[in-house]
Structure 1
Amino acid sequence: MTESAGALRNKKLPALIVVLITSLLAGFVLWRLDHAPSTDDAYVYADTISVVPEVNGRIVEMPVRDNQPVKQGDLLFRIDPRPYKDALNQARARLVTLDKQIALTQRSVNAQQYNADSVKAAVERSRAQAGQAADTLRRMEPLLAQGYTSAEDVDRARTAQRSAQAELNAAMLQAQQAAASVSGVDALVAQRAEVEAQIAIAELNLEFTEVRAPFDGRVAALRTTVGQFASALKPVFTLIDTRHWYVIANFRETDLKGVHARLPATVYLMSDTGKRFDGKIDSISYGVLPDDGGVVMEGLPRVARSINWVHVSQRFPVKIAVQNPDPDMFRIGTSAVATLRRGASR
């Protein structure tokens, strides 16, 4: 009887061990899910720009090729600069011509001003003569009644006074005419400012014929070469900003508790699962397009959350900034796996 009880205990012991190990594994998995949520619904992302010229023209030089890395300031392509050089030279020639015209007009204005000043001096002379004639007449008129002067002398004084006044009036009219005829160079100076603005625009357009990389990046989607006519504001190719790489990971809403910006994370790419990269959360999306018949808000990412008849938790994109990424591995759209380290933040 004792032997059979011992044998029964020996049979139960492996089962208890299995149950204990299973419980420990389940506890570890639950702890792992709570402290380090992970998702394989993730992909690599980087900012991109469309490289567009700001002037029209034929491409005469393109030293880059598709998928080539470039440095900030590298020449991407050059548009034929000859029309813009000619426009600049034409504007500069107009400025030279206008400066000479301003100088010539200024000399004419100076002559007009000298003439006006001369007529003004003549007015003052006529005014003095008229005043002298009037004074002479006033002195002679009382002497006529006393017999100290003749009527003929008084008549001559009156005639002289009227003549001097007429000359003064004529001189004043000439002075007004001379002053009105004095022109200026204000209109030409305004034209000069306009030509200077045209020169600045021509210089800027000439500078725009060279399109250079605004940052370190990689050329993508290049489908043209030298000889193609480039239109202003029409993309020629895409430039990927390789200075910053991100992983966009879609986490279940139930995993976002306690998740915040700058939370540490670990990512790896499906192209090489053996290499791990550290990262930090850059931001968390605050909106996705609902797919259950609710109100649709355009411009937000759509993440499906229904699998057949099963209603699963909604997923929200979490943007993770990768630290020290491998430039040879990271490509936009590469599949990735992301794990958040909530325990590390605590």
Structure 2
Amino acid sequence: MVKPGAGAPVGRYLALLLVVATLLVMAFVIRRVDREPRTDDAYAYADTIDVVPEVSGRIVDLAVRDNQAVKQGDLLFQIDPRPYEEALLRANASLVALDRQIALTQRTVTAQQYNARSAHAAVERARAAAAQAIDTLHRTEPLLPQGYVSAQDVDLARTAQRAAQADLAAAEWQAQQAEAAVSGVDALVAQRAVVQADIAIAQLNLAFATVRAPFDGRVVSLHTSTGQFASALKPVFTLIDTRRWYVVANFRETELKDIRVGTPAAAFLLSDSGRRFRGTVDSISYGVLPDESGLALPGGLPRIERTLNWVHVAQRFPVKIRIDNPDSDLFRIGTSAVAVLYPGRR
């Protein structure tokens, strides 16, 4: 027969043991959380680009569909190349015509140069004839007083000297005229450089008409089809860079003391919480937008809202974790995640 009150000490011992066990568990959890910060305020992230055509035109071949995975170099879409092919043909034809014009002009210039050299030779002949006429006159004039020559001979010598000087002046004028008539092909050669630049631009525009994937990725936000007119510098869809995946986790500022770039980390996606993905800290944000400060800070800073207004809550800063072993079927931008940091490990 059990005596009354015999079970009371046992119950107190069990209650005390339960309290001690709870305190130990709490101490273990607090220590672990302090040494290995964890947060469920996290999401998956990857870099994205807007796929923007460099030229305008109608899409004649849309080779992808929404949410399709693509490899680097895969065709995304083809803009009608015919206007750009015609522009290239026209530029090449202009170059051929200009080359022929340069060749014809060069032949004309060569003939003009020959004429100029011939005129210079005529000047030399006229100069020699004039010099000879002057010498003849100088030899003839002293002989007149002595009666060796007649006055008519002297007059003829003077006339020949004046005619020779006139011929020399005419030859020099013709030589200057022939020299001035020599043109050149410099202007045409400069024009040829312009045409070559037009050809290069036409080739570039023709290449831009074919849009290919710049990296391995996944097509998202595709809301168009073949036949749509694509305008230059206006996005057609978005491409996610699936080569690198990250988890952006918002940790309290009190947990960032021992966190550095390269700190080991782990991430769990809520879409499959049983899988653990390893990673390392890629960067730690150096700015968020403080809602309570009243400061007008530049836009673009992350906005991390605090949940309690009646106590001072530690601010949270985004920590960007690069995932080492992402699963392309599970990782989606914005997927909820849990992140754990291991600052004590290498």
Q: TM-score, normalised by structure 1?
A: 0.96
Supply the distance in 1 between the matched residues of 2:228 and 2:261 (Cα, whole angstroms).
46
**Is residue 187 of structure 1 aligned with residue 221 of structure 2?**
no
Q: What corresponds to 2:241 in structure 1?
A: 241
Question: Which residue matches 2:338?
Answer: 337
Matched with 1:120 is 120
Whole-Å separation in 2 of the counterparts to 1:306 and 1:292? 12
User: Which 5+ residue runs of structure 1 have no aligned equivalent?
Assistant: none
The answer as to whether partners of 1:305 and 1:311 remain within 8 angstroms in 2 is: no
Moved over 4 A (4+): 3-12
Instruction: State the match for 1:135 in structure 2.
Output: 135
- Preserved contact between residue 289 and residue 296 of structure 1 (Cα < 8 Å): no
**Structure 1 equivalent of residue 319 of structure 2:** 318
More divergent stretch after superposition (281-290 vs 8-17): 8-17
Which residue of structure 1 lines up, in the alignment, with residue 86 of structure 2?
A: 86
Matched, 1:44 2:36: no
8 Å Cα contact 1:72/1:214 also seen in 2:
yes
RMSD: 1.7
Counterpart-to-counterpart distance in 2, 1:21 and 1:113: 111
Q: How many residues align?
A: 343
Question: What's the secondary structure of 1:202's corresponding residue?
Answer: helix
* Percent pairwise identity: 66
Give, in whole Å, the separation in 1 of the partners of 2:52 and 2:33: 47
1:22 shift after superposition: 2.1
2-structure distance, mates of 1:175, 1:169: 10
Residue in 1 aligned with 2:304? 303
**What amino acid is the match of 1:292?**
E
- 1:324 deviates by 1.0
| Mapped pair 1:272 → 2:272 | yes
TM-score (norm 2): 0.96
Deviation at 1:344, TM superposition (A): 1.4
Secondary structure of 2:317's aligned partner: strand
Letter in 1 for 2:335: T
Q: Which range is displaced more, 74-83 or 22-31?
A: 22-31
Question: What residue number does 1:254 align with?
Answer: 254
> For residue 196 of structure 2, what is the aligned residue in structure 1?
196
1:36-80 C-alpha deviation (Å, 9 max, x unpaired): 010000001000000010001000001111000000000000000
Amino acid at match of 1:326: D
Q: Does residue 152 of structure 1 match 2:126?
A: no
The alignment partner of 2:345 has SS state of helix
Alpha-carbon separation, structure 1, partners of 2:57 and 2:5: 97
